[in-house]
Amino acid sequence: MDFVASDLGDGASLRAALRGCDLAVHCAGPFQGKVMPEVLDAALAEGVAYVDVCDETELCKLAKTEAWASRATEVPCVVSAGIWPGVSALMAKRGVARAADAGAAPRAVDYAFYTAGTGNAGPTIVSATFLLLVTPALCYEGGALVERDAWSDARDIPFRSLGGATRKCRLLDCPDAYTLGASVLGDFPDAPLSVSSRFSTEPELWNGLFGLSKRLVPDALLADRDAMQALALFSEPVVRAVDALVGSTNVMKVDVTDDRGVVRTLEHGHDDLETAVGLATAAFGKELLDGAVAPGIYWPSDLPPDVSDRICDVVREDAGTFLWEE
């Protein structure tokens, strides 16, 4: 394995680093606050297939605008293709398909995510969460796209992966809410669809800290990428110590409610978030390398069912997965 220094702000160095590669896998977050998909731009310029783990909805939306989509004529690119966002969208799409198979239409898709500590991911997830506190949570309500306050509307969500224990989950933006909603409304244009995404961590002290920060810290400071990254790095020894105490479990739960009131639940539990993200991203990348995805720019919910099924199978069969229920 060779390492090459590159600068996200220098398109020429990015293109040079990608030249001759078969696949670019972009995991250099946090993505919050970014306004340009630099690595995607370089990958398209060099004709290199591309996967990223972008968890910033506006950047995810930008990737499918004409400026980039019109250039993806030779290689496939999938954005927001990690565990969540990513596999969680595939789980939701499966739930919607089950409803359609039963002759029903979806009415609500509710995501709930839980991570113990940082999930072994370290400072980046801490800084990303602080940045998300000033990002409106995009939701669908009655088929309309709306913005809700981040870290609001708490719900007690039971997780089978946690032995049925409940966690208080709050609204937090996730691209899967937007992309899945757009995808489902494409299939059911008249559906009064609702989609939301919520999150909780452990220990509860962290949830309280995020809530306190949301109320007391100026938005301008919370939105400062450099400041939040510096804070996360400064607090890393404490974060790592807490991780050692609470573990790194990651759980994704998706409830799909149809127009008959039937709820179909899909849940995935893994003993380590970092491992789960790596495995999921690799599964997306393998599909591109295998030629299973035609050229173009995709969100996970856009992918063909056979591709989605193979990715889910890889994630489900991983040794760290202790629950896959649907």
Picking from 167, 169, 134, the residue whose alpha carbon sits closest to that of residue 149 is: 134
Q: Which amino acid is at 89?
A: A
Buried b (16+ CB within 10 A) or exposed e, 272-284: bbbbbbbbbbebb
Q: Which fold has domain 11-83+280-305?
A: Rossmann fold (3.40.50)
Contact status, residue 100 vs residue 253, Cβ threshold 8 Å? no
Eight-class DSSP state of 181: H
CB burial of residue 145 (10 Å; 0-12, 13-18, 19+): middle
Supply the pLDDT for residue 242: 84
204-251, pLDDT tens digit by residue?
988 998 999 999 999 999 889 888 888 878 777 888 888 888 989 999
Supply the pLDDT for residue 326: 83
Eight-class DSSP state of 64: T
Picking from 198, 186, 195, the residue whose alpha carbon sits closest to that of residue 146 is: 195
CA distances from 23 to 11, 76, 102, 282, 288 (A): 17, 10, 39, 11, 8
Tell whether the model's pLDDT for residue 255 goes beyond 80.
Answer: yes
3-state secondary structure of 190: coil
| Number of residues assigned to the chain | 326
Helix 123-132 × helix 225-234 angle, to 10°: 140
> Tokens 């609702």 label which residue?
194
Same fold for the pair 11-83+280-305 and 88-273: no
CA distances from 325 to 123, 138, 256, 279 (A): 30, 27, 13, 18
The domain limits of the chain are 11-83+280-305, 88-273
40-88, pLDDT tens digit by residue?
999 999 999 999 999 999 999 999 998 888 899 999 999 999 999 999 9
Tell whether the model's pLDDT for residue 201 goes beyond 90.
Answer: yes
Calpha distance 121→84 (Å, rounded): 13
176-190, pLDDT tens digit by residue?
999 999 999 888 888
* Total-model pTM: 0.94
Token pair of 5 as six digits: 């220094």
CATH architecture of 88-273: 2-Layer Sandwich (3.30)
